């Protein structure tokens, strides 16, 4: 299937264009024009979503599951078109995009099966105790209920799995919430063809057109209007700390504040314990550089720092790191703006006192190679800027002079999506002492692995304390993600017939 974007916005089931447009900036192939949404578009979409909620929020789990499966089917039917335009827009490989498409359809189907099991309702029941003294107890039921229309922001680095039909949209639909997507300007054509798949699924399932809207913008007007609209009940966002914090502040400053489920930044530290370093020096160095440079370092789980203890193996670790980094070929970054920001971040960081270059990065327009830096733990702790995420293949080797200094780094890190321990059996006691620190710092802890690669599963947690995310009790990956778009309601002394108020 060939696909040429028409560049319109989807509002109330209709594709609508206007004279205000922006141009895509593909890594290869032709650029296209896309209609810029407006506050009026947002208001129309939100009004339609609110009307649609009164039907969509109360259809059966089976009805929502069929819808999710149908979206997955429609995406697969457009597989070639999606891959073609996504490769042009992002520069990502065909294998990466095919894998991401499968992940996207799989998580849609996962949520379909999850809601059919019914556990997501977290049904709790306290039987009535009319004879209890000194006061009788009423009968109580608690169920999770959908919150209403939600806004979803597409992510730059995952044009499929974290964007138009990604995990935020899938979990919101599974909960029974209409979704308004603000597409990411890095891949507007990809977003459009996926939006067509969702709309086709909606039509096949004969659902209200207000349950889904897709709006393009290359600035901040649509995003600002979305998070401030009184009919939006929650926001899902994956992106930069600066952009996310701005939207978060808008959400909490509304007359009626709403939750902002944002993933904003993480450096995902790896702590290498002494015995692991002595027995697997080269393997750990290889694994770190491979994980650091995967996808040109454009993953939220990119391991931006690795902390080692200075000993007789340190020099060998540095040399292996340098050697492996030199073998990494130039990679394409997602956009010109991301490549430019990466170059500026590298320049800024290497100018910090006490930072030394192990391997120097090459950044030629959108093509980059790794940048490996080195510093001491004491110096890393002195400069808070070194805790800020760099979106790209920049890694910092932090050398501690003692276990106490390594522990000080663990205590000093901000909230993270992941923390990793590289350990041997003889490191077990030391690992236990680090675990109690790291489980307060991150949503996912790894042992003898590397954090890139996130399994979509029931037990996955993809969040963490701020600034990794704005709500540490939630996750954007895995079936628990549905809880973001539900709220508990207690029903007291209700007849059984009223408890089940779903339509077919």
- Catalytic residues, by residue number, are 263, 300
Q: Helix or strand or coil: residue 387?
A: helix
Cα 338 to Cα 90, 125, 366, distances in angstroms: 11, 51, 8
Mark out the alpha helices in 294-424 (DSSP H runs).
Answer: 314-326, 336-350, 377-382, 403-412
Q: Which H or E element spans position 165?
A: none
Question: What does the radius of gyration of the chain's CA atoms come to, in whole angstroms?
Answer: 24
Cα 297 to Cα 283: distance, rounded to the nearest angstrom: 19
Lay out the sheet containing 124-126: strands in order across. 124-126, 140-146, 486-492
Q: Scanning the structure block, which residue is given the tokens 């349950």?
A: 211
Q: Helix or strand or coil: residue 364?
A: strand
* Residue 138: how many other CB atoms lie within 10 Å: 13
3-state helix, strand, coil in the chain (%, to 5): 45, 20, 35
The 10 Å CB-count burial string (b at 16+, else e) for 279-292 is ebbeebbbbbbebb
Cα 64 to Cα 115: distance, rounded to the nearest angstrom: 8
Q: Among 114, 99, 104, which residue's Cα sits nearest to residue 73?
A: 104
Contact indicator for 172, 108 with CB cutoff of 8 Å: no
Contact indicator for 342, 333 with CB cutoff of 8 Å: yes
Q: Among 179, 175, 249, 178, which residue's Cα sits nearest to residue 215?
A: 179
Contact indicator for 348, 392 with CB cutoff of 8 Å: no
Which long-range CB contacts under 8 A does 125-133 form with residues at least 24 apart?
Answer: 128/493
In DSSP terms, 235 is beta-bridged to: 151, 260
Contact indicator for 276, 487 with CB cutoff of 8 Å: no
In DSSP terms, 271 is beta-bridged to: 307, 421
Contact indicator for 412, 259 with CB cutoff of 8 Å: no
Q: Among 427, 380, 432, 436, which residue's Cα sits nearest to residue 406?
A: 380
Contact indicator for 166, 236 with CB cutoff of 8 Å: no
Cα 477 to Cα 236: distance, rounded to the nearest angstrom: 12
> Residue 435 has what DSSP assignment?
H
Question: Torsions phi, psi of 270, nearest 5?
Answer: -115, 125
């Amino acid at each position: 299937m060939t696909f040429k974007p028409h560049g319109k916005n989807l509002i109330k089931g209709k594709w609508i264009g206007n004279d205000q447009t922006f141009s895509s900036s593909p890594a290869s192939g032709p650029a296209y024009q896309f209609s810029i949404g407006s506050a009026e578009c947002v208001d129309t979409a939100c009004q339609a979503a609110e009307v649609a909620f009164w039907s969509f929020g109360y259809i059966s789990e089976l009805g929502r599951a069929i819808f999710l499966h149908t979206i997955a089917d429609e995406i697969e039917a457009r597989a070639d078109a999606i891959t073609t335009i996504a490769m042009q827009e992002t520069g990502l490989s065909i294998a990466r995009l095919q894998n991401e498409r499968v992940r996207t359809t799989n998580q849609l189907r996962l949520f379909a099966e999850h809601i059919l099991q019914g556990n997501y309702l977290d049904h709790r029941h306290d039987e009535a105790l009319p004879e209890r003294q000194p006061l009788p107890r009423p009968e109580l039921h608690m169920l999770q209920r959908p919150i209403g229309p939600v806004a979803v922001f597409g992510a730059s680095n995952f044009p499929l799995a974290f964007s138009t039909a990604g995990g935020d949209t899938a979990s919101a639909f599974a909960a029974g919430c209409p979704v308004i997507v603000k597409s990411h300007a890095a891949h507007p054509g990809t977003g459009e063809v996926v939006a067509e798949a969702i709309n086709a699924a909606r039509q096949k399932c004969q659902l209200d057109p207000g349950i889904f809207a897709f709006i393009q913008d290359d600035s901040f007007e649509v995003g600002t209007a979305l998070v401030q609209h009184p009919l939006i009940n929650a926001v899902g966002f994956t992106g930069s700390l600066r952009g996310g914090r701005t939207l978060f502040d808008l959400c909490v400053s509304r007359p009626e504040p709403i939750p902002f489920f944002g993933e904003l930044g993480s450096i995902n530290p790896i702590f290498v314990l002494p015995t692991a370093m002595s027995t697997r020096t080269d393997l750990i160095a290889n694994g770190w550089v491979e994980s650091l440079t995967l996808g040109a370092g454009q993953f939220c789980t990119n391991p931006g720092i690795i902390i080692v203890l200075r000993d007789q193996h340190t020099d060998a670790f540095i040399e292996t790191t340098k050697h492996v980094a030199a073998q990494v070929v130039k990679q394409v970054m997602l956009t010109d703006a991301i490549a430019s920001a990466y170059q500026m971040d590298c320049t800024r960081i290497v100018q910090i006192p006490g930072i030394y270059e192990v391997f120097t990065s090459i950044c030629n327009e959108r093509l980059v190679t790794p940048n490996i830096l080195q510093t001491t733990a004491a110096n890393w702790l002195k400069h808070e800027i070194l805790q800020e995420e760099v979106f790209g293949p920049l890694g910092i080797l932090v050398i501690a002079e003692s276990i106490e200094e390594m522990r000080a780094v663990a205590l000093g890190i901000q909230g993270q999506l992941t923390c990793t321990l590289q350990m041997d059996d003889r490191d077990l006691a030391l690992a236990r002492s680090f675990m109690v620190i790291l489980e307060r710092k991150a949503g996912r802890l790894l042992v003898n692995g590397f954090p890139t690669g996130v399994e979509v599963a029931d037990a996955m947690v993809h969040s963490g304390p701020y600034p990794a995310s704005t709500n540490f009790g939630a996750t954007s990956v895995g079936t628990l993600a549905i809880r973001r778009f539900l709220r508990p309601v207690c029903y007291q002394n209700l007849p059984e017939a009223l408890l089940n108020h779903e339509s077919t």
